[in-house]
Structure 1
Amino acid sequence: MTETLPSRDYASLVQDDRVHTSLYRDPAIFDDEMDRIFKNTWVWVGHASEVPGPNTFKTSYVGRQPVILTRDKDDRFHVLLNRCRHRAATVCERRKGKGNVFVCPYHGWSYNIDGKLRAVPHASVYDDSFNKDDFALESLRVEQYNGMIFATFRQDIEPLVEFLGAATKWIDLFMKQGAGFGVKTLGEHQFRFRGNWKIQLENTTDAYHFPIVHKTFLDSLDAETENVFDVLGQGGWVEDLGNGHSLMVMIPDLVDLEANLDAPIPDRFAELASELAAEGHSDAMVRKIVRAVGGTGFNLNLFPNVACSMAFFRVLRPISVEETEIRHVAIGMDGGPEAGNRARLRLHEHFQGPMGFGSPDDAEGWERVQRGAQAGDNLWIMVNRGIDPLVGHIAGSNVTDVSAETGMRAAYQMWKRMMVA
């Protein structure tokens, strides 16, 4: 028997163990999400390595609004609305680059890298009340944590570090993939799927699907590596970190990449280890680099739009109620050995690249959810798996089974909190 709900009664649409299917398919709900969530919280816009020096920039989005992330000559970050203050044309169409000025192609208004209006052609035609200081590009509040840059429209919001809360510990662990060299982005794979953004948000801390959806990936591995990716059988866990953030540990032995460095180097990395040793790296450094190349054993979901997923950033951008853009951004060592970064890219291509196993399989699953959600009028999406915490687990008393839907429940409770505020 189905239940009839008041239209867009957000408090009722999200319950402790289920969410209403209209969250996937109601355009009015989607429009409200863009205002109540994406304009009212910290949204990830880029990594510091994507704007690597003075006068560099990249274009990004906060919800549906186009922005430019810039670094000025004093190494300060800015996030600017990509909209000329004259007649609204975008002032930058390049994905990334270097330069100290943006020029609107429509009427030639130009702006400094920090957004200040620089020059206006034929400005004498304006009357004496015209003041260039009144027409800078609109600037968002911007903060960064360990290289991850976030922006928000709200000037009165809590500091970023407070919003991230318990997730900061896991961001720090994730960034150990720099092996002491620091972390930088290496390249990315971008695609769109026909489905709601929250379907992907659910996926990052969903280990339950892994051995089913990614069976072809597991079949492509050697026996040793396949055992490593036995994500349901290694004592992992899922944890609600607060503010909609969640953690899924699949391979506990790879939580801290600087621990257990005396362990044998896996056979799949033997050739890389030999190449690094031949380049003159010490045995200790070879082990550290190899461990970093293999990636972490966990996925960290940061509400609402980015995940630190084992060895890459997964970034979502809502396009419409039934279309979402995904960027899978590979990361590597900033200044580390070329051989290590090359190996990292090959691993990324194997699972997340356009010809890899992970992205096509995931996207097919997400699109099937969106198609199936069109069936029935008042049905629920169930997120009730693994509600009870694990007893006596090494990670503590606030964790659930690695296959539990704890991450989904965490995200949807934050969704409800923001949508009813």
Structure 2
Amino acid sequence: MTTAQANGPKPYSELVKPDRVHTALYKDEAIFRDEMEKIFQKTWVWVAHESEIPQPGAFKTSYVGLQPVIVVRTREGEIRVLLNRCRHRGATVCENRTGKTSNFVCPYHGWTYGLDGALRGVPYPEGYNDFDKSNYGLVSLRVESYAGLVFATSKDDIESLSDFLGPAKTWIDLFMKQGAGFGVKTAGEHKFRFPGNWKIQLENTTDAYHFPLVHRSFLNSVDDETGQTFDLMNQGGFVQDLGNGHSVMVMIPHLVDLEEGLDAPIPERFAALADELRRSHPEDVVRRVVRAVGGTGFNLNLFPNLACSMAFFRVLRPVSVSETEISHIAIGMDGGPEAANRARLRIHEHFQGPMGFGSPDDAEAWTRVQRGAEAGPDLWIMLNRSLGVDGVDNQGPGLGDVSAETGMRAAYQMWKRMMCA
């Protein structure tokens, strides 16, 4: 497969090198169209967390690449992912972002579908000759879940979700310890778009190199103790390739496993919360909850569209070659103390919220990357930080540098594998 370049067509295999990728990956519309087919139609794509559809009839609308889908729980409790398109003339059958329903009705001609996608009713059926409703249900995608994370795929003969996630499952399990024994639930979502390619954001989740520079305003907004915690370049962190394009960036090693270190002193910024929790909970629960409130010490990138990022889910959705929608989904403790969930939301708002210190700065940087992609006819994006250094990219005795571009190299090698398949 080739794509047009300033100096002639280049095979996809030549657009991804061990230490760089071609700028065409950000701006070539033909590449984008192929990505939607070869990647988003051929692998597991995250669509929901189970807590978003807690009971029969609960649903949310989502996307698999460019395809609109409905994630719904059937009367039997099964999770289905249905293409959001009437089988008659193609109109969407659901426009609400979330809700609860007993069926889906096309607003154009009234075709009615059950929660399982089966076609239940057609107005004025006498107008059809030899019409079998069982042949016209909503198209259902293959669905599997792990630790509450729901994935869907259009590819029936794909490997299991468990095999696809591989070593990433260990890190998902660690991430879910933020439930502090109560379980994890979603706690609100906000979305925004930036004028840039989806892979620019994919890179960001395992990019610690930018943090002390781009997020200086955030670091200036916190107390000294918190600032020391977020001194990422001096914490002994690392980035690890987990296979299949997945990677983890450990920024704060002592916060990787939230069930360890429960006897450590409670940080000053959580002292008031701990005192409030002690009024109704024993000390062991207080310490477990307080340790989980601030989130984990790592970002987990799950190729191609989900990041489990410290204390929230970040979901990317390709809109076009030069536009991407980002969803930041706050998470809380399912059945946990209200004071703790309130504290988690305040932390989320401080950095990731629409008026926070983190997201606007990130979005500005991503926008500038896309704008800069138009400069020069045949330039490359460098991903060579710490490449070849002992202990990096799983070579040598350790795992090396937290600012290594290991995660980006891992994602692009998966991109290359899928695009050249």
Which residue in the other structure is 1:330 paired with? 330
Q: CA 1:393/1:152 → structure 2, altered by over 3 Å: closer, same or farther?
A: closer
Distance 2:157 2:148 in 1: 23
Q: CA 1:393/1:57 → structure 2, altered by over 3 Å: closer, same or farther?
A: closer
Q: CA 1:377/1:276 → structure 2, altered by over 3 Å: closer, same or farther?
A: same
Which residue in the other structure is 1:152 paired with? 153
Distance 1:57 1:125 in 2: 32
Q: CA 1:107/1:391 → structure 2, altered by over 3 Å: closer, same or farther?
A: closer
Distance 1:384 1:121 in 2: 61
| Local SS of the residue matching 1:272 | helix
Distance 2:345 2:298 in 1: 19
Distance 1:369 1:385 in 2: 18
Matches within 5 A, 1:250-399: 250-278=251-279, 280-388=280-388, 390-391=390-391, 397=397, 399=399
Give 2:323's aligned amino acid: E
Distance 2:395 2:358 in 1: 28
* Aligned with residue 63 of structure 1, among 62, 65, 68: 65
Give 1:304's aligned amino acid: P
| Local SS of the residue matching 1:118 | strand
Which residue in the other structure is 1:409 paired with? 409
Distance 1:393 1:79 in 2: 36
Contact 1:110–1:119 under 8 Å retained in 2: yes
Which residue in the other structure is 1:237 paired with? 238
CA deviation profile, 1:166-225 (whole Å, cap 9, x unmatched):
000000000000011110000112100010000000000000000000000000010000
Distance 2:400 2:7 in 1: 31
Contact 1:297–1:310 under 8 Å retained in 2: yes
**What 5-or-longer segments of structure 2 have no aligned partner?**
none
Contact 2:387–2:393 under 8 Å retained in 1: no
Contact 1:59–1:96 under 8 Å retained in 2: yes
Give 1:216's aligned amino acid: S
The CA RMSD measured in Å over matched residues stands at: 1.6
Give 2:48's aligned amino acid: G
Distance 1:98 1:372 in 2: 44
Contact 1:188–1:327 under 8 Å retained in 2: yes
1:324: how far off? 0.2
Report which stretch shifted further, 382-391 or 170-179: 382-391
1:388: how far off? 3.0
Which residue in the other structure is 1:123 paired with? 125
| Local SS of the residue matching 1:139 | coil
Contact 2:392–2:400 under 8 Å retained in 1: no
CA deviation profile, 1:227-261 (whole Å, cap 9, x unmatched):
00001100000000000000000000000000010
Contact 2:198–2:316 under 8 Å retained in 1: yes
Which residue in the other structure is 1:400 paired with? 400
1:7: how far off? 2.2
CA deviation profile, 1:110-149 (whole Å, cap 9, x unmatched):
000110001001111111x210000000000000000000
Distance 1:397 1:410 in 2: 19
Distance 2:58 2:111 in 1: 20
Give 1:35's aligned amino acid: E
Which residue in the other structure is 1:133 paired with? 134
Which residue in the other structure is 2:32 paired with? 30
Which residue in the other structure is 2:184 paired with? 183
| Local SS of the residue matching 2:138 | coil
Distance 1:399 1:377 in 2: 36
Contact 2:240–2:394 under 8 Å retained in 1: no
Give 2:213's aligned amino acid: I
Distance 1:89 1:29 in 2: 28
CA deviation profile, 1:21-63 (whole Å, cap 9, x unmatched):
0000111110110001000000000100010111110000000
Report which stretch shifted further, 392-401 or 158-167: 392-401
Contact 2:392–2:404 under 8 Å retained in 1: no
Which residue in the other structure is 1:221 paired with? 222
* Aligned with residue 88 of structure 2, among 86, 89, 92: 86
Q: Kindly, what percent of the aligned residue pairs are identical?
A: 68
**What 5-or-longer segments of structure 1 have no aligned partner?**
none
Using the size of structure 2 for normalisation, the TM-score is 0.97
1:4: how far off? 6.7
Contact 1:236–1:249 under 8 Å retained in 2: yes
Distance 1:400 1:153 in 2: 37
Contact 1:141–1:152 under 8 Å retained in 2: yes
Matches within 5 A, 1:90-129: 90-127=92-129, 129=130
Contact 2:392–2:398 under 8 Å retained in 1: no
Report which stretch shifted further, 314-323 or 385-394: 385-394
Which residue in the other structure is 2:204 paired with? 203
1:391: how far off? 4.4
